[in-house]
Amino acid sequence: MIDIAAHFPILSKPVHGKKLHYLDSGATSLKAQSVIDAVNAYNAEYSANVHRGTYYFSEIATKRFEDVREKVRTLINARSSHEIIFTKGTTDSINLVAHALGSQILDSNSEILLTTMEHHSNIVPWQLVCERTGAKIVVAEIDDNGALDILKIKNLINPRTKIVGVAHISNALGTVNDIKAITELAHAVGAKVVVDGAQAIAHVRVDVQDLNCDFYAFSAHKMYGPTGAGVLFGKRELLDAMPPYQGGGDMIASVTFEKTTYAKVPYKFEAGTPNIAGVIGLGAAVDFVREIGFKWIESHEDDLIAYAMKKLSEVKGLKLIGTAAHKKAAVSFVMEGVHPHDIATVVDRHGVAIRAGHLCAQPVMKRFGVTALSRASFGVYNTREDVDALCAALKSVSEVFGA
Amino acid sequence: MNDELLELYQELILDHNARPHNFGAMQGSTHHAHGLNPLCGDDIEVFLQLDGNRIKDAKFSGHGCAISKASASLMTDAVKEASTEEAQAMFDVFHRLVTGENVSDLERENLGKVAAFSGVKEFPARVKCASLAWHTLKAALNQAHEQVSTE
Protein backbone atom coordinates (compact mmCIF):
# COMPACT_ATOMS: atom_id res chain seq x y z
CA MET A 1 0.00 0.00 0.00
CA ILE A 2 1.55 3.30 -1.11
CA ASP A 3 0.83 6.27 1.16
CA ILE A 4 -0.14 8.66 -1.59
CA ALA A 5 -2.10 10.95 0.75
CA ALA A 6 1.15 11.90 2.51
CA HIS A 7 2.15 13.77 -0.67
CA PHE A 8 -0.82 16.14 -0.33
CA PRO A 9 -0.45 18.62 2.55
CA ILE A 10 -4.08 19.76 2.34
CA LEU A 11 -5.27 16.28 3.35
CA SER A 12 -3.84 16.74 6.82
CA LYS A 13 -6.03 19.81 7.43
CA PRO A 14 -9.34 19.06 9.16
CA VAL A 15 -12.61 20.48 7.79
CA HIS A 16 -15.29 21.47 10.32
CA GLY A 17 -13.22 19.50 12.83
CA LYS A 18 -13.41 16.34 10.70
CA LYS A 19 -10.91 14.52 8.53
CA LEU A 20 -11.16 15.79 4.95
CA HIS A 21 -12.57 13.34 2.41
CA TYR A 22 -11.90 15.12 -0.85
CA LEU A 23 -14.14 13.78 -3.60
CA ASP A 24 -14.05 16.66 -6.07
CA SER A 25 -10.93 16.00 -8.13
CA GLY A 26 -13.08 16.34 -11.23
CA ALA A 27 -13.33 20.06 -10.44
CA THR A 28 -9.70 20.39 -9.46
CA SER A 29 -7.30 17.89 -7.98
CA LEU A 30 -5.32 18.60 -4.87
CA LYS A 31 -1.76 19.78 -5.39
CA ALA A 32 1.14 17.42 -4.70
CA GLN A 33 3.92 18.67 -2.41
CA SER A 34 6.46 18.27 -5.22
CA VAL A 35 4.30 20.54 -7.40
CA ILE A 36 4.05 23.15 -4.65
CA ASP A 37 7.83 22.95 -4.17
CA ALA A 38 8.54 23.35 -7.89
CA VAL A 39 6.28 26.41 -8.18
CA ASN A 40 7.82 27.93 -5.04
CA ALA A 41 11.33 27.26 -6.29
CA TYR A 42 10.66 29.11 -9.53
CA ASN A 43 9.20 32.08 -7.67
CA ALA A 44 11.87 32.12 -4.98
CA GLU A 45 14.99 31.09 -6.87
CA TYR A 46 14.88 31.83 -10.61
CA SER A 47 11.77 33.84 -11.49
CA ALA A 48 13.09 35.28 -14.74
CA ASN A 49 11.17 35.52 -17.99
CA VAL A 50 11.73 32.81 -20.60
CA HIS A 51 13.02 32.94 -24.18
CA ARG A 52 14.58 36.42 -23.89
CA GLY A 53 17.12 36.94 -21.16
CA THR A 54 20.78 36.33 -21.82
CA TYR A 55 21.52 36.14 -18.15
CA TYR A 56 21.89 33.21 -15.81
CA PHE A 57 18.41 32.99 -14.25
CA SER A 58 16.62 33.47 -17.54
CA GLU A 59 18.60 30.63 -19.05
CA ILE A 60 17.67 28.37 -16.13
CA ALA A 61 14.01 29.39 -16.34
CA THR A 62 13.97 28.80 -20.10
CA LYS A 63 15.62 25.41 -19.74
CA ARG A 64 13.23 24.23 -16.99
CA PHE A 65 10.24 25.60 -18.93
CA GLU A 66 11.25 23.84 -22.15
CA ASP A 67 12.06 20.63 -20.26
CA VAL A 68 8.37 20.47 -19.35
CA ARG A 69 7.46 20.40 -23.04
CA GLU A 70 9.53 17.25 -23.38
CA LYS A 71 8.01 15.76 -20.20
CA VAL A 72 4.52 16.36 -21.57
CA ARG A 73 5.51 14.92 -24.93
CA THR A 74 6.59 11.74 -23.17
CA LEU A 75 3.45 11.68 -21.01
CA ILE A 76 1.11 11.63 -24.02
CA ASN A 77 3.56 10.05 -26.48
CA ALA A 78 3.45 12.88 -29.01
CA ARG A 79 5.85 12.59 -31.93
CA SER A 80 7.61 15.87 -31.23
CA SER A 81 7.73 18.45 -28.44
CA HIS A 82 6.83 21.04 -31.12
CA GLU A 83 3.35 19.55 -30.93
CA ILE A 84 2.96 20.65 -27.30
CA ILE A 85 1.48 24.13 -26.85
CA PHE A 86 1.20 25.61 -23.38
CA THR A 87 -2.12 27.28 -22.66
CA LYS A 88 -4.10 28.49 -19.66
CA GLY A 89 -5.96 25.18 -19.50
CA THR A 90 -8.38 22.94 -21.36
CA THR A 91 -10.87 25.73 -22.06
CA ASP A 92 -8.14 27.92 -23.51
CA SER A 93 -6.84 25.00 -25.57
CA ILE A 94 -10.25 24.28 -27.09
CA ASN A 95 -10.84 27.97 -27.80
CA LEU A 96 -7.47 28.06 -29.56
CA VAL A 97 -8.41 25.17 -31.90
CA ALA A 98 -11.94 26.43 -32.42
CA HIS A 99 -10.68 29.86 -33.37
CA ALA A 100 -7.60 29.04 -35.41
CA LEU A 101 -8.66 25.79 -37.09
CA GLY A 102 -12.34 26.74 -37.20
CA SER A 103 -11.81 29.97 -39.08
CA GLN A 104 -9.52 28.12 -41.48
CA ILE A 105 -11.62 25.12 -42.47
CA LEU A 106 -15.26 25.92 -41.66
CA ASP A 107 -17.87 27.55 -43.86
CA SER A 108 -21.67 27.65 -43.97
CA ASN A 109 -21.82 24.11 -45.38
CA SER A 110 -19.74 22.63 -42.58
CA GLU A 111 -20.83 20.56 -39.63
CA ILE A 112 -19.19 20.14 -36.24
CA LEU A 113 -20.12 16.90 -34.50
CA LEU A 114 -20.32 17.07 -30.70
CA THR A 115 -21.90 14.76 -28.12
CA THR A 116 -24.56 15.30 -25.45
CA MET A 117 -22.02 14.60 -22.74
CA GLU A 118 -19.68 17.50 -23.58
CA HIS A 119 -18.66 20.01 -20.90
CA HIS A 120 -19.73 23.57 -21.75
CA SER A 121 -16.11 24.31 -22.63
CA ASN A 122 -16.38 21.88 -25.55
CA ILE A 123 -19.69 23.38 -26.70
CA VAL A 124 -19.55 27.15 -26.37
CA PRO A 125 -16.24 27.75 -28.26
CA TRP A 126 -17.78 25.86 -31.21
CA GLN A 127 -20.98 27.89 -31.01
CA LEU A 128 -18.87 31.05 -31.20
CA VAL A 129 -17.04 29.82 -34.29
CA CYS A 130 -20.39 28.80 -35.84
CA GLU A 131 -21.59 32.37 -35.42
CA ARG A 132 -18.57 33.60 -37.36
CA THR A 133 -18.52 30.96 -40.10
CA GLY A 134 -22.13 29.82 -40.45
CA ALA A 135 -21.18 26.21 -39.64
CA LYS A 136 -23.72 24.01 -37.87
CA ILE A 137 -23.41 21.88 -34.72
CA VAL A 138 -24.71 18.32 -34.89
CA VAL A 139 -25.12 16.37 -31.64
CA ALA A 140 -24.57 12.66 -31.07
CA GLU A 141 -27.01 11.58 -28.37
CA ILE A 142 -26.10 9.25 -25.53
CA ASP A 143 -28.04 6.24 -24.23
CA ASP A 144 -29.65 5.74 -20.82
CA ASN A 145 -26.35 4.60 -19.35
CA GLY A 146 -24.64 7.73 -20.59
CA ALA A 147 -22.71 5.95 -23.34
CA LEU A 148 -22.24 6.80 -27.00
CA ASP A 149 -23.30 4.36 -29.67
CA ILE A 150 -20.53 4.19 -32.24
CA LEU A 151 -23.06 3.29 -34.95
CA LYS A 152 -24.90 6.54 -34.26
CA ILE A 153 -21.64 8.44 -34.68
CA LYS A 154 -21.05 6.59 -37.93
CA ASN A 155 -24.47 7.64 -39.21
CA LEU A 156 -23.91 11.28 -38.27
CA ILE A 157 -20.48 11.63 -39.83
CA ASN A 158 -20.70 12.71 -43.45
CA PRO A 159 -18.63 14.67 -45.97
CA ARG A 160 -19.85 17.97 -44.47
CA THR A 161 -18.38 16.99 -41.07
CA LYS A 162 -15.17 19.00 -40.63
CA ILE A 163 -14.57 18.71 -36.90
CA VAL A 164 -15.54 16.15 -34.27
CA GLY A 165 -15.29 17.40 -30.67
CA VAL A 166 -15.53 14.75 -27.97
CA ALA A 167 -14.60 14.23 -24.34
CA HIS A 168 -12.19 11.40 -23.62
CA ILE A 169 -13.96 10.92 -20.27
CA SER A 170 -17.22 12.67 -19.38
CA ASN A 171 -16.94 14.96 -16.35
CA ALA A 172 -20.56 14.38 -15.36
CA LEU A 173 -20.98 10.68 -16.14
CA GLY A 174 -17.51 9.14 -16.05
CA THR A 175 -18.13 7.54 -19.45
CA VAL A 176 -14.94 6.67 -21.33
CA ASN A 177 -15.29 7.24 -25.06
CA ASP A 178 -13.67 5.11 -27.74
CA ILE A 179 -11.56 7.90 -29.23
CA LYS A 180 -9.69 5.56 -31.53
CA ALA A 181 -12.88 4.33 -33.19
CA ILE A 182 -14.32 7.84 -33.44
CA THR A 183 -11.09 9.12 -34.97
CA GLU A 184 -11.16 6.36 -37.59
CA LEU A 185 -14.70 7.29 -38.62
CA ALA A 186 -13.88 11.01 -38.68
CA HIS A 187 -10.70 10.59 -40.70
CA ALA A 188 -12.57 8.56 -43.28
CA VAL A 189 -14.33 11.79 -44.32
CA GLY A 190 -11.33 14.05 -43.65
CA ALA A 191 -12.73 15.52 -40.41
CA LYS A 192 -10.38 16.57 -37.60
CA VAL A 193 -10.85 15.23 -34.09
CA VAL A 194 -10.51 17.48 -31.04
CA VAL A 195 -10.42 15.59 -27.75
CA ASP A 196 -11.28 17.21 -24.42
CA GLY A 197 -8.93 15.27 -22.17
CA ALA A 198 -9.52 17.30 -18.99
CA GLN A 199 -11.02 14.37 -17.08
CA ALA A 200 -8.79 11.70 -18.58
CA ILE A 201 -5.24 12.93 -18.25
CA ALA A 202 -4.84 12.00 -14.57
CA HIS A 203 -6.70 8.71 -14.85
CA VAL A 204 -5.64 6.82 -17.98
CA ARG A 205 -2.48 6.50 -19.98
CA VAL A 206 -2.97 8.77 -22.98
CA ASP A 207 -1.15 7.94 -26.21
CA VAL A 208 -2.02 10.50 -28.87
CA GLN A 209 -0.31 8.50 -31.60
CA ASP A 210 -2.34 5.43 -30.74
CA LEU A 211 -5.59 7.41 -30.45
CA ASN A 212 -4.55 9.16 -33.66
CA CYS A 213 -6.58 12.22 -32.66
CA ASP A 214 -5.63 15.55 -34.23
CA PHE A 215 -5.85 17.64 -31.06
CA TYR A 216 -5.87 16.76 -27.37
CA ALA A 217 -6.52 19.34 -24.64
CA PHE A 218 -5.96 19.11 -20.89
CA SER A 219 -5.26 21.13 -17.74
CA ALA A 220 -2.45 20.88 -15.21
CA HIS A 221 -4.82 21.42 -12.27
CA LYS A 222 -6.76 18.23 -12.88
CA MET A 223 -3.58 16.17 -12.64
CA TYR A 224 -2.22 17.42 -9.29
CA GLY A 225 -0.65 20.52 -10.85
CA PRO A 226 -1.42 24.23 -10.49
CA THR A 227 -4.37 26.14 -11.97
CA GLY A 228 -3.89 28.41 -14.97
CA ALA A 229 -1.64 26.11 -16.99
CA GLY A 230 -2.59 23.53 -19.57
CA VAL A 231 -1.72 21.94 -22.85
CA LEU A 232 -2.95 21.68 -26.37
CA PHE A 233 -1.44 18.84 -28.34
CA GLY A 234 -1.87 19.22 -32.09
CA LYS A 235 -0.45 17.31 -35.03
CA ARG A 236 2.50 19.24 -36.37
CA GLU A 237 1.28 19.61 -39.96
CA LEU A 238 -2.08 20.97 -38.77
CA LEU A 239 -0.48 23.41 -36.34
CA ASP A 240 1.95 24.60 -39.02
CA ALA A 241 -0.93 25.38 -41.37
CA MET A 242 -3.14 27.08 -38.79
CA PRO A 243 -3.19 30.87 -38.41
CA PRO A 244 -2.17 32.28 -35.00
CA TYR A 245 -4.81 32.57 -32.28
CA GLN A 246 -3.53 35.60 -30.38
CA GLY A 247 -0.91 38.15 -31.34
CA GLY A 248 1.81 39.57 -29.16
CA GLY A 249 5.32 39.01 -27.95
CA ASP A 250 7.00 35.59 -28.11
CA MET A 251 4.93 34.46 -31.14
CA ILE A 252 6.70 36.47 -33.84
CA ALA A 253 9.72 36.01 -36.07
CA SER A 254 9.92 39.67 -37.06
CA VAL A 255 7.66 42.69 -36.76
CA THR A 256 7.46 45.79 -38.89
CA PHE A 257 4.39 47.96 -39.40
CA GLU A 258 4.26 46.67 -42.96
CA LYS A 259 4.42 42.97 -42.23
CA THR A 260 4.85 40.59 -39.32
CA THR A 261 6.06 37.05 -39.70
CA TYR A 262 5.25 34.47 -37.10
CA ALA A 263 7.41 32.20 -35.04
CA LYS A 264 7.34 28.48 -35.69
CA VAL A 265 5.15 26.14 -33.65
CA PRO A 266 4.67 25.86 -30.76
CA TYR A 267 5.67 29.51 -30.16
CA LYS A 268 3.28 30.78 -32.84
CA PHE A 269 0.47 29.90 -30.43
CA GLU A 270 2.08 31.18 -27.24
CA ALA A 271 1.67 34.95 -27.35
CA GLY A 272 2.80 36.89 -24.31
CA THR A 273 4.70 35.81 -21.21
CA PRO A 274 3.36 32.38 -20.34
CA ASN A 275 2.38 31.07 -16.91
CA ILE A 276 5.97 30.03 -16.24
CA ALA A 277 5.42 28.98 -12.63
CA GLY A 278 2.33 27.03 -13.70
CA VAL A 279 4.13 25.21 -16.49
CA ILE A 280 6.99 24.32 -14.16
CA GLY A 281 4.39 23.03 -11.69
CA LEU A 282 2.88 21.00 -14.53
CA GLY A 283 6.29 19.44 -15.11
CA ALA A 284 6.42 18.33 -11.47
CA ALA A 285 2.87 16.97 -11.80
CA VAL A 286 3.88 14.92 -14.85
CA ASP A 287 6.80 13.50 -12.87
CA PHE A 288 4.45 12.72 -10.00
CA VAL A 289 1.91 10.72 -12.02
CA ARG A 290 4.59 8.93 -14.01
CA GLU A 291 6.33 7.95 -10.79
CA ILE A 292 3.12 6.40 -9.46
CA GLY A 293 2.47 4.92 -12.89
CA PHE A 294 -0.77 4.45 -14.76
CA LYS A 295 -0.83 0.75 -14.06
CA TRP A 296 -1.27 1.46 -10.35
CA ILE A 297 -3.51 4.50 -10.94
CA GLU A 298 -5.92 2.63 -13.19
CA SER A 299 -6.25 -0.44 -11.01
CA HIS A 300 -6.58 1.64 -7.83
CA GLU A 301 -9.21 3.94 -9.30
CA ASP A 302 -11.14 1.16 -11.06
CA ASP A 303 -11.47 -0.53 -7.69
CA LEU A 304 -12.67 2.72 -6.12
CA ILE A 305 -15.26 3.35 -8.83
CA ALA A 306 -16.61 -0.19 -8.57
CA TYR A 307 -16.73 0.09 -4.78
CA ALA A 308 -18.44 3.49 -4.90
CA MET A 309 -21.04 2.32 -7.44
CA LYS A 310 -21.86 -0.68 -5.26
CA LYS A 311 -21.96 1.20 -1.95
CA LEU A 312 -23.90 4.16 -3.29
CA SER A 313 -26.49 1.97 -4.99
CA GLU A 314 -27.22 0.51 -1.53
CA VAL A 315 -28.13 3.95 -0.13
CA LYS A 316 -31.90 4.27 0.25
CA GLY A 317 -33.54 6.55 -2.31
CA LEU A 318 -30.32 7.07 -4.28
CA LYS A 319 -30.15 6.69 -8.05
CA LEU A 320 -26.89 6.54 -9.99
CA ILE A 321 -26.71 8.64 -13.15
CA GLY A 322 -24.05 7.46 -15.59
CA THR A 323 -23.73 3.71 -15.59
CA ALA A 324 -21.70 3.05 -18.73
CA ALA A 325 -19.44 0.01 -18.66
CA HIS A 326 -15.79 0.59 -17.71
CA LYS A 327 -16.49 4.10 -16.48
CA LYS A 328 -13.81 6.08 -14.68
CA ALA A 329 -13.07 9.11 -12.54
CA ALA A 330 -16.55 10.12 -11.36
CA VAL A 331 -19.80 8.78 -9.94
CA SER A 332 -22.91 10.97 -10.11
CA PHE A 333 -26.23 10.46 -8.40
CA VAL A 334 -29.53 11.95 -7.30
CA MET A 335 -31.47 11.34 -4.10
CA GLU A 336 -35.23 11.25 -4.01
CA GLY A 337 -36.70 14.42 -2.54
CA VAL A 338 -33.37 16.11 -1.77
CA HIS A 339 -31.70 18.69 -3.99
CA PRO A 340 -28.01 18.03 -4.77
CA HIS A 341 -27.06 21.37 -3.24
CA ASP A 342 -28.55 20.40 0.09
CA ILE A 343 -26.78 17.04 -0.08
CA ALA A 344 -23.43 18.77 -0.66
CA THR A 345 -23.98 21.17 2.26
CA VAL A 346 -24.86 18.38 4.69
CA VAL A 347 -21.99 16.05 3.72
CA ASP A 348 -19.54 18.98 3.82
CA ARG A 349 -20.19 19.27 7.56
CA HIS A 350 -19.02 15.67 7.79
CA GLY A 351 -15.77 16.59 6.06
CA VAL A 352 -16.86 15.16 2.71
CA ALA A 353 -16.30 17.46 -0.29
CA ILE A 354 -18.45 16.64 -3.33
CA ARG A 355 -19.71 18.68 -6.24
CA ALA A 356 -23.37 19.58 -6.73
CA GLY A 357 -24.99 21.41 -9.60
CA HIS A 358 -25.23 21.15 -13.35
CA LEU A 359 -21.50 20.31 -13.56
CA CYS A 360 -21.09 22.65 -16.56
CA ALA A 361 -22.89 20.00 -18.56
CA GLN A 362 -26.49 21.22 -18.85
CA PRO A 363 -27.25 19.03 -21.90
CA VAL A 364 -26.46 16.00 -19.70
CA MET A 365 -28.91 17.29 -17.06
CA LYS A 366 -31.59 17.69 -19.73
CA ARG A 367 -30.90 14.21 -21.12
CA PHE A 368 -31.49 12.62 -17.72
CA GLY A 369 -34.38 14.91 -16.79
CA VAL A 370 -32.69 16.45 -13.76
CA THR A 371 -31.72 20.03 -12.94
CA ALA A 372 -28.59 19.11 -11.04
CA LEU A 373 -26.51 16.15 -9.88
CA SER A 374 -24.30 15.28 -6.95
CA ARG A 375 -20.90 13.99 -8.04
CA ALA A 376 -18.11 12.21 -6.24
CA SER A 377 -14.92 12.22 -8.30
CA PHE A 378 -11.66 10.54 -7.50
CA GLY A 379 -7.92 11.02 -7.43
CA VAL A 380 -4.91 8.92 -6.53
CA TYR A 381 -5.20 9.91 -2.86
CA ASN A 382 -8.70 8.55 -2.40
CA THR A 383 -9.42 5.25 -0.70
CA ARG A 384 -12.45 3.11 0.08
CA GLU A 385 -12.57 4.94 3.41
CA ASP A 386 -13.57 8.13 1.54
CA VAL A 387 -16.46 6.27 -0.09
CA ASP A 388 -17.54 4.91 3.30
CA ALA A 389 -17.41 8.44 4.75
CA LEU A 390 -19.61 9.70 1.91
CA CYS A 391 -22.14 6.91 2.41
CA ALA A 392 -22.24 7.56 6.18
CA ALA A 393 -22.74 11.28 5.54
CA LEU A 394 -25.56 10.49 3.09
CA LYS A 395 -27.38 8.69 5.94
CA SER A 396 -27.37 11.97 7.78
CA VAL A 397 -28.84 13.65 4.68
CA SER A 398 -31.73 11.19 4.90
CA GLU A 399 -32.11 12.01 8.59
CA VAL A 400 -32.30 15.77 7.97
CA PHE A 401 -34.74 15.49 5.09
CA GLY A 402 -36.66 12.50 6.39
CA ALA A 403 -36.12 10.80 3.04
CA MET B 1 -25.94 16.15 13.97
CA ASN B 2 -23.94 19.30 13.47
CA ASP B 3 -25.48 22.35 15.23
CA GLU B 4 -24.98 24.67 12.29
CA LEU B 5 -26.78 22.19 10.03
CA LEU B 6 -29.70 22.03 12.46
CA GLU B 7 -29.79 25.82 12.53
CA LEU B 8 -29.80 25.95 8.71
CA TYR B 9 -32.29 23.18 8.09
CA GLN B 10 -34.84 24.18 10.73
CA GLU B 11 -38.21 22.47 10.92
CA LEU B 12 -39.90 25.53 9.42
CA ILE B 13 -37.57 25.60 6.41
CA LEU B 14 -37.88 21.86 5.82
CA ASP B 15 -41.68 22.15 6.01
CA HIS B 16 -41.79 24.93 3.44
CA ASN B 17 -39.45 22.94 1.20
CA ALA B 18 -41.66 19.85 1.38
CA ARG B 19 -44.96 21.78 1.18
CA PRO B 20 -44.28 25.21 -0.31
CA HIS B 21 -46.93 27.91 0.05
CA ASN B 22 -48.06 30.04 -2.90
CA PHE B 23 -46.53 27.60 -5.37
CA GLY B 24 -47.60 27.71 -9.01
CA ALA B 25 -48.00 30.23 -11.82
CA MET B 26 -50.44 33.12 -11.30
CA GLN B 27 -53.02 34.07 -13.90
CA GLY B 28 -53.40 37.83 -14.39
CA SER B 29 -50.35 38.96 -12.44
CA THR B 30 -49.50 42.64 -12.70
CA HIS B 31 -45.78 42.10 -12.08
CA HIS B 32 -43.58 39.15 -12.90
CA ALA B 33 -39.87 38.28 -13.14
CA HIS B 34 -37.67 35.28 -13.78
CA GLY B 35 -34.63 34.57 -11.55
CA LEU B 36 -31.73 32.26 -12.28
CA ASN B 37 -28.72 31.09 -10.33
CA PRO B 38 -26.48 30.09 -13.25
CA LEU B 39 -23.91 28.33 -11.09
CA CYS B 40 -26.34 25.78 -9.67
CA GLY B 41 -29.26 25.96 -12.06
CA ASP B 42 -31.88 27.19 -9.57
CA ASP B 43 -34.63 28.74 -11.60
CA ILE B 44 -37.71 30.52 -10.22
CA GLU B 45 -40.46 32.85 -11.35
CA VAL B 46 -42.16 35.32 -9.04
CA PHE B 47 -45.66 36.62 -9.79
CA LEU B 48 -47.25 39.59 -8.07
CA GLN B 49 -50.61 41.24 -8.09
CA LEU B 50 -50.31 44.87 -7.09
CA ASP B 51 -53.07 47.27 -6.17
CA GLY B 52 -51.43 50.66 -6.25
CA ASN B 53 -48.28 50.10 -4.29
CA ARG B 54 -49.73 47.28 -2.18
CA ILE B 55 -48.91 43.64 -2.92
CA LYS B 56 -52.28 41.89 -2.89
CA ASP B 57 -50.98 38.48 -3.89
CA ALA B 58 -47.63 36.75 -4.49
CA LYS B 59 -46.83 33.35 -5.96
CA PHE B 60 -43.79 31.54 -7.30
CA SER B 61 -42.95 28.60 -9.53
CA GLY B 62 -39.77 26.83 -10.66
CA HIS B 63 -37.25 24.56 -9.05
CA GLY B 64 -34.31 24.78 -6.70
CA CYS B 65 -32.76 23.48 -3.52
CA ALA B 66 -34.50 23.36 -0.14
CA ILE B 67 -33.12 26.76 0.86
CA SER B 68 -34.21 28.58 -2.29
CA LYS B 69 -37.61 26.90 -2.38
CA ALA B 70 -38.36 27.52 1.31
CA SER B 71 -37.14 31.09 0.95
CA ALA B 72 -39.51 31.74 -1.96
CA SER B 73 -42.34 30.13 -0.03
CA LEU B 74 -41.80 32.16 3.15
CA MET B 75 -41.13 35.33 1.19
CA THR B 76 -44.37 35.12 -0.77
CA ASP B 77 -46.21 34.65 2.54
CA ALA B 78 -44.39 37.59 4.11
CA VAL B 79 -44.89 40.19 1.40
CA LYS B 80 -48.63 39.69 0.99
CA GLU B 81 -50.41 42.87 2.05
CA ALA B 82 -47.09 44.70 2.35
CA SER B 83 -46.44 47.92 0.46
CA THR B 84 -43.71 47.79 -2.18
CA GLU B 85 -41.53 49.97 0.09
CA GLU B 86 -42.05 47.58 3.00
CA ALA B 87 -41.11 44.64 0.78
CA GLN B 88 -37.93 46.38 -0.37
CA ALA B 89 -37.04 47.19 3.25
CA MET B 90 -37.64 43.56 4.21
CA PHE B 91 -35.24 42.44 1.48
CA ASP B 92 -32.62 44.82 2.81
CA VAL B 93 -32.88 43.37 6.32
CA PHE B 94 -33.05 39.82 4.98
CA HIS B 95 -29.88 40.36 2.97
CA ARG B 96 -28.04 41.63 6.02
CA LEU B 97 -29.36 38.69 8.03
CA VAL B 98 -28.09 35.99 5.66
CA THR B 99 -24.74 37.66 5.05
CA GLY B 100 -24.06 37.99 8.78
CA GLU B 101 -24.28 41.76 8.92
CA ASN B 102 -25.85 43.64 11.79
CA VAL B 103 -29.61 43.27 12.23
CA SER B 104 -31.37 44.94 15.17
CA ASP B 105 -33.79 42.98 17.36
CA LEU B 106 -36.67 45.09 16.08
CA GLU B 107 -35.72 44.46 12.45
CA ARG B 108 -35.47 40.74 13.13
CA GLU B 109 -38.88 40.77 14.81
CA ASN B 110 -40.41 42.59 11.84
CA LEU B 111 -39.11 39.89 9.51
CA GLY B 112 -41.32 37.35 11.30
CA LYS B 113 -40.89 33.77 10.09
CA VAL B 114 -38.42 34.86 7.38
CA ALA B 115 -35.88 35.34 10.20
CA ALA B 116 -35.56 31.54 10.23
CA PHE B 117 -32.91 31.98 7.52
CA SER B 118 -30.38 33.47 9.95
CA GLY B 119 -28.53 30.11 9.92
CA VAL B 120 -27.53 30.75 6.29
CA LYS B 121 -24.83 33.17 7.45
CA GLU B 122 -22.67 30.19 8.46
CA PHE B 123 -22.90 28.86 4.88
CA PRO B 124 -21.57 31.56 2.53
CA ALA B 125 -22.08 29.31 -0.53
CA ARG B 126 -25.81 29.20 0.22
CA VAL B 127 -26.49 32.95 0.49
CA LYS B 128 -27.40 33.04 -3.19
CA CYS B 129 -29.89 30.22 -2.72
CA ALA B 130 -31.62 32.09 0.10
CA SER B 131 -31.72 35.42 -1.73
CA LEU B 132 -32.68 34.31 -5.26
CA ALA B 133 -36.42 34.72 -4.59
CA TRP B 134 -35.86 38.17 -3.11
CA HIS B 135 -33.74 39.35 -6.05
CA THR B 136 -36.48 38.12 -8.34
CA LEU B 137 -39.14 39.89 -6.29
CA LYS B 138 -37.16 43.11 -6.56
CA ALA B 139 -36.87 42.69 -10.32
CA ALA B 140 -40.61 42.10 -10.55
CA LEU B 141 -41.32 45.23 -8.50
CA ASN B 142 -39.02 47.24 -10.73
CA GLN B 143 -40.87 45.72 -13.66
CA ALA B 144 -37.55 44.62 -15.02
CA HIS B 145 -38.39 42.46 -17.98
CA GLU B 146 -34.90 41.14 -18.11
CA GLN B 147 -34.06 37.95 -16.37
CA VAL B 148 -32.17 38.45 -13.13
CA SER B 149 -29.23 36.39 -12.14
CA THR B 150 -27.37 35.91 -8.89
CA GLU B 151 -24.09 36.28 -10.79
The complex's ipTM works out to 0.89
- Which residue is catalytic, options A130, A213, A360, A391? A360
Q: E-assigned strands of chain B?
A: 31-37, 42-51, 54-63, 148-149
C-alpha–C-alpha distance, residues B81 and B57, integer Å: 7
Print pLDDT tens along chain A (403 aa): 568 999 999 999 999 999 999 999 999 999 999 999 999 999 999 999 998 778 889 999 999 999 999 999 999 999 999 999 999 999 999 999 999 999 999 999 999 999 999 999 999 999 999 999 999 999 999 999 999 999 999 999 999 999 999 999 999 999 999 999 999 999 999 999 999 999 999 999 999 999 999 999 999 999 999 999 999 999 999 999 999 999 988 888 899 888 999 999 999 999 999 999 999 999 999 999 999 999 999 999 999 999 999 999 999 999 999 999 999 999 999 999 999 999 999 999 999 999 999 999 999 999 999 999 999 999 999 999 999 999 999 999 999 998 5
Of B1, B4, B65, the CB nearest to A339: B65
Best probe of the B interface among A18, A120, A345, A395, by most B CBs < 10 A, is A345
- Compute the CA torsion angle A89, A11, A204, A290 (nearest 10 deg): 90
**Residue type for A182, please?**
I
Radius of gyration of chain A, Cα coordinates, nearest whole angstrom: 22
Element of type H or E holding A266: none
C-alpha–C-alpha distance, residues A263 and A395, integer Å: 59
Cis peptide upstream of residue A244 (ω within 30 degrees of 0): no
Considering only alpha carbons, which residue of chain B is nearest residue A402? B14
Backbone angles phi, psi at A338, to 5 degrees: -130, 130
Give the closest-approach CA distance of B18 to chain A in angstroms.
8
Nearest to A34 by CA among A65, A7, A10, A71: A7
Going A78 to A79 to A81 to A82, the CA torsion angle's sign is negative
The answer to whether residues B133 and B61 touch, using CB atoms and an 8 Å cutoff, is no
The alpha-helical segments, DSSP class H, found in A265-331 are 276-292, 294-313
User: Which residues face A338 on adjacent strands?
Assistant: A335
Per residue in A123-170, pLDDT (tens digit) is 999 999 999 999 999 999 999 999 999 999 999 999 999 999 999 999
Give the closest-approach CA distance of B66 to chain A in angstroms.
7
Residue ranges of chain B whose CB lies within 8 Å of a chain A CB = 1-2, 4-5, 8-9, 14, 18, 39-43, 63-67, 69, 123, 125-126, 129
C-alpha–C-alpha distance, residues B32 and B34, integer Å: 7
Domains and CATH numbers, chain A: 4-25+293-401 (3.90.1150.10), 35-291 (3.40.640.10)
Active site residue A213: no
Nearest to A390 by CA among A338, A349, A358: A349
Question: CB–CB of B65 and A402 under 8 A?
Answer: no
Q: How far is CA A289 from CA A21, A87, A223, A277, in A?
A: 21, 20, 8, 19
- Indicate the pTM of the whole model: 0.94
The answer to whether residues A120 and A172 touch, using CB atoms and an 8 Å cutoff, is no
What's B18's domain CATH number? 3.90.1010.10
Element of type H or E holding A335: strand A330-335
Give me the domain span that covers residue B45: 3-149
Contacts of A356 in chain B (CB under 8 A): 40
Burial class from Cβ neighbours inside 10 Å (0-12, 13-18, 19+) for residue A181 reads middle
Q: Count the domains in chain B.
A: 1
Best probe of the A interface among B1, B2, B8, by most A CBs < 10 A, is B2
Write down the pLDDT at residue B147: 62
Of B4, B41, B123, the CB nearest to A371: B41
Backbone angles phi, psi at A136, to 5 degrees: -120, 145
